[in-house]
């Protein structure tokens, strides 16, 4: 291990927290104790296996001593965390995954272990999240099961992720280089052999070229092509037909036949076909790896938003500690320019915070005492202290990352069907390849060549990639726009929705009251009315009071000075003294009834559904302030866009009928249901479903949770309650209501592209199989056609990177460059 990193976990060392023992350095006391226990148990070989990366370890070489380390309580304290129902959950990094079939095989093996409840594997990041009952299965048994089928697994360490990925890339690049060298030279020799075939060639020279080709192609097959053979063997050991099996059979049958011809000294060899199609396949795999690394890098950029260290107040002193050592309830000091290390609330200070990583909005927001701070957001211009409320996997940042990973790893029903078809498809391919050997009685060489072409050209990679490529791409595209989709099945349901129900407050409207109308009394103007009310409301934290202050600030007016003896009357308003006169703001009965027996009537033309507050001075009316929760600026355009997509909108709210219908008229929503309780909201959704409508519900509050849970698709908007988020299938991090339209457009385009990919895969195989069986496609052409078919599928899926009708610019961390 590097001297600047922890000997046990590999994290960078800090001078303030480094603990040294003997010739080793540790980042914290927990790592030191874990090392001490591993050494006392005689398991020091664990570190040698870890540092070597367990490269090339075969299934029979599993070290039981090193596996025991994974069950050590101190070790699990760092990498394993408890979840509901007494289960444990761990993130594993898997080495050796090459395609969707590898993912499927590992999932099947892990899922069939006793006590394993859920397993998600993200092919883009090579990470697996496993949830299991520790009473039935140990972590070491899970890792051993993966190693038995030839893959490597160990707890995911973010600090080692880039190193592991670079190591895998180097290994793949080395295999590609060997294949390129062998294929290039063998092809030169093949040119001479083909020329000799037509123009004549000396027998000894021809045999010499055969032996040179054999020597060059052997390392290509045994080293570069070993990835396909190993993957095929893993599948057979697990009694599964994987996509690598036809590739491995095609390469080995062609090689063995050419070896037989070389030893016999008569006939034609096909070493050029073996080396070239392995080179092409590895080249396609390397390009796929580069694309996958970009996806993994985007996920890591989000993870890296969390600082590794935090400054904590302990015993009155500021102490720098690792973030994982911070505890709930502690006080953290945050300087300008620093990222928030954990979730918490501000204890003291005022600042502006860049929350673009959370909401996708670039405009900083003001935060003061009592306001929440979210892990990963950027403190811009003020020093604050904060109380820690959530740490580790419970922070908003960790939950967002977990949702994205689960969404990418989850398989929709349409993809699950393809996975099942792929296994049967391989069996059909093998049968057809055997039938192709019927050519043997006519021309053995032609029969062999045709069989190899069938095995290669019908590789079901395009079928296997049809849905995963689209899903991974759309999850990244959605995340860049501030849209988190929990699973692939949600995308399918979204595409079939034909009725959308929207809550009013916080969804269609801003969710906070604003001053909608100022009606000054005779002898007063709007400025005198608003500045007087704002001077008194300066001492209030009521939402209506904040709206009055905000309106005064937006107009550039200064509140009246000299207000004193402010007294709050809960539920009715505020009272204060100004130059010896009583000033009141609040309900009309409070502001005027104490001094006047009757209330002045509002003008007939302002009887709109707003909340009216009265302001009086010395018992005389100064004016009326009308407050309302206005619709979001783009709400009418969003509703119109939904209607164009054949998605009729319904407004569902517990607010007064006049208010709900007024908002409906302003936004163009024709169907409005008002004055409903949470249970009644759920009943409305159930009634729509009974009428045969696929219903989506958009909400943000606790009162929306039952309706969200009932809906076919539940969508929660920014700043939604935790319960609403828990009930949601889609979470919109951006406050912009247009994200609702973008979500439906994404879903419909994704399902359309998946169907296009499946149809292409179907017609490709229907066309390719007869041509290969008839001998019209040579193995070398098949080797080119197979990866090209996969590239067509991936290229079609990449159109989702810039979906139809969605902007290209984003401020989310998922965007390129962070």
Q: Which residues are marked as active site?
A: 503
Which of 329, 333, 328 has its CA nearest to residue 313?
Answer: 333
Q: SS3 for 58?
A: coil
Non-local (6+) Cβ contacts of 16 within 8 A are: 319, 320, 321
Is 114 in contact with 282 (CB distance < 8 Å)?
no
- Please write down the long-range contacts of 591-594, taking CB distance under 8 Å and 24 or more positions apart: 591/615, 591/616, 591/621, 592/616, 592/619, 592/621, 594/619
Q: How far apart are CA 203 and CA 319, in angstroms?
A: 82
| Strand stretches in 227-329, DSSP E | 309-314, 317-322
How many CA atoms within 13 Å lie on the side-chain side of 672? Answer: 22
Q: By three-state DSSP, how is residue 774 classified?
A: coil
d(Cα 749, Cα 473) in Å, to the nearest integer?
12
Give the Cα separation of 527 and 533 in Å (integer): 10
* Rg for the chain, CA atoms, rounded: 34
Report the run of H or E that residue 37 belongs to, with start and end: helix 29-40
The Cβ of residue 561 has, within 10 Å, a number of other Cβ atoms equal to: 8
CA dist 758 and 756 (Å) reads: 5
Sheet holding 309-314, edge to edge: 317-322, 309-314, 331-334, 384-390, 343-348, 372-373
CB under 8 Å to 450, separation ≥6 — which residues? 436, 439, 772, 773, 774, 775
By DSSP bridging, strand 649-652 and strand 671-673 are parallel
Q: Annotate 558-604 with DSSP letters as a single string.
A: PPPS-EEEEEEETTTEEEEEETTEEEEEE-HHHHHTTT-SSPPPPPG
User: Could you identify the residue written with the tokens 């408890």?
Assistant: 82
CA–CA distance, 405 with 728 (Å, rounded to integer): 16
- The residues facing 671 across adjacent strands are 650
DSSP 442-504: T-HHHHHHHHHHHHHHT-THHHHHHHHHHHHHHHHHHHHTTEEE--HHHHHHHHH--EEEEEI
**Alpha helix positions (H), 92-157:** 100-111, 139-148
How far, in Å, CA of 54 to CA of 43, rounded? 15
Name 430's Cβ contacts closer than 8 Å, sequence gap at least 6.
Answer: 241, 245, 246, 249, 455
Residue 345 phi/psi, 5-degree rounding, is -125, 145
Q: Which tokens in the block code for residue 326?
A: 């911070």
Residues 6+ apart with CB under 8 A from 800: 470, 473, 474, 477, 746, 749, 750, 753
Q: Which of 268, 250, 180 is nearest to 217 (CA)?
A: 180
């Amino acid at each position: 291990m590097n001297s600047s990193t922890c000997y046990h976990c590999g994290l960078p060392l800090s001078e303030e927290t480094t603990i040294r023992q003997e010739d080793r350095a540790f980042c914290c006391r927990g790592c030191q104790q874990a090392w001490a226990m591993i050494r006392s148990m005689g398991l020091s070989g664990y570190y040698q296996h870890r540092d070597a990366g367990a490269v090339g370890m075969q299934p029979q070489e599993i070290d039981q001593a090193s596996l025991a380390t994974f069950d050590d309580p101190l070790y699990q304290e760092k990498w394993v965390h408890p979840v509901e129902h007494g289960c444990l959950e761990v993130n594993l990094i898997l080495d050796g995954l090459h395609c969707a079939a590898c993912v499927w095989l590992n999932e099947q093996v892990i899922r069939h272990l006793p006590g394993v409840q859920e397993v998600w594997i993200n092919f883009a990041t090579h990470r697996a999240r496993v949830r299991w009952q520790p009473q039935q299965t140990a972590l070491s048994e899970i890792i051993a099961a993966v190693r038995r089928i030839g893959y490597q697994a160990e707890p995911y360490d973010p600090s080692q992720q880039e190193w592991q990925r670079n190591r895998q890339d180097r290994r793949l690049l080395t295999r590609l280089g060997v294949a390129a060298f062998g294929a290039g030279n063998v092809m030169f020799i093949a040119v001479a052999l083909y020329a000799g075939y037509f123009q004549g060639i000396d027998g000894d020279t021809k045999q010499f070229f055969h032996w040179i080709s054999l020597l060059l192609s052997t390392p290509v097959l045994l080293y570069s092509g070993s990835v396909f053979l190993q993957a095929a063997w893993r599948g057979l050991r697990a009694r599964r037909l994987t996509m690598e099996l036809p590739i491995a059979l095609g390469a080995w049958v062609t090689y063995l036949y050419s070896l037989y011809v070389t030893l016999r000294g008569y006939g034609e060899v096909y070493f050029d076909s073996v080396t070239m199609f392995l080179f092409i396949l590895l080249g396609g795999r390397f390009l796929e790896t580069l694309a996958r690394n970009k996806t993994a890098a985007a996920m890591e950029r989000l993870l890296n938003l969390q600082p590794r260290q935090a400054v904590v107040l302990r015993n009155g002193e500021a102490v720098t500690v690792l973030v994982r050592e911070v505890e709930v309830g502690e006080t953290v000091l945050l300087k300008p320019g620093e990222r928030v290390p954990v979730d918490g609330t501000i204890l003291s200070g005022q600042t502006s915070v860049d929350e673009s990583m959370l909401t996708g909005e670039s405009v900083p927001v003001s935060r003061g005492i009592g306001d929440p701070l979210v892990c990963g957001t950027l403190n811009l211009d003020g020093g604050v202290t904060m109380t820690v409320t959530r740490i580790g996997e419970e922070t908003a940042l960790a939950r967002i990352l977990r949702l994205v990973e689960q969404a990418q790893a989850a398989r929709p029903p349409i993809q699950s069907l393809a996975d099942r078809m792929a296994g049967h498809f391989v069996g059909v391919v093998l049968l057809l390849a055997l039938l192709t050997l019927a050519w043997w009685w006519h021309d053995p060489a032609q029969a062999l060549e045709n069989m190899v072409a069938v095995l290669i050209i019908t590789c079901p990679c395009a079928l296997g990639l049809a849905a995963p490529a689209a899903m991974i791409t759309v999850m990244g595209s959605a995340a860049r726009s501030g849209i988190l989709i929990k699973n692939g099945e949600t995308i399918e349901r979204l595409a079939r929705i034909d009725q959308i129900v929207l809550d009013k407050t916080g969804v269609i409207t801003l969710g906070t009251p604003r001053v909608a109308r100022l009606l000054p009394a005779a002898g007063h103007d709007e400025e005198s009315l608003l500045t007087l009310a704002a001077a008194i409301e300066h001492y209030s934290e009521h939402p209506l009071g904040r709206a009055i202050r905000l309106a005064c600030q937006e107009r550039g007016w200064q509140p009246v000075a000299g207000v004193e003896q402010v007294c709050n009357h809960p539920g009715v308003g505020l009272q204060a003294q100004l130059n010896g006169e009583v000033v009141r703001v609040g309900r009309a009965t409070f502001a005027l009834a104490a001094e006047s027996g009757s209330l002045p009537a509002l003008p007939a033309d302002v009887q709109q559904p707003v909340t009216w507050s009265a302001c009086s001075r010395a018992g005389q009316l100064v004016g009326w302030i009308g407050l309302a929760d206005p619709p979001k600026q783009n709400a009418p355009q969003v509703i119109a866009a939904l209607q164009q997509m054949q998605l009729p909108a319904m407004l569902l709210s517990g607010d007064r009928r006049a208010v709900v219908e007024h908002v409906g008229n302003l936004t163009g929503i024709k169907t409005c249901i008002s004055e409903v309780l949470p249970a009644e909201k759920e009943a409305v959704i159930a009634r729509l479903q009974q009428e045969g409508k696929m219903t989506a519900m958009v909400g943000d509050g606790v009162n929306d949770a039952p309706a969200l849970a009932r809906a076919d698709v539940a969508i929660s908007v920014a700043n939604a309650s935790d319960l609403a988020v828990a009930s949601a299938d889609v979470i919109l991090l951006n406050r912009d209501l247009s994200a609702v339209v973008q979500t439906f457009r994404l879903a419909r385009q994704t399902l359309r592209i998946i169907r296009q990919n499946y149809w292409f895969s179907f017609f490709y195989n229907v066309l390719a199989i007869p041509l290969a069986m008839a001998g019209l496609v040579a193995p070398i052409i098949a080797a080119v056609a197979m990866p090209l078919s996969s590239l067509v599928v991936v290229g079609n899926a990449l159109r989702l990177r810039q979906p139809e009708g969605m902007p290209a610019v984003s401020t989310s961390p998922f965007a390129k460059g962070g």
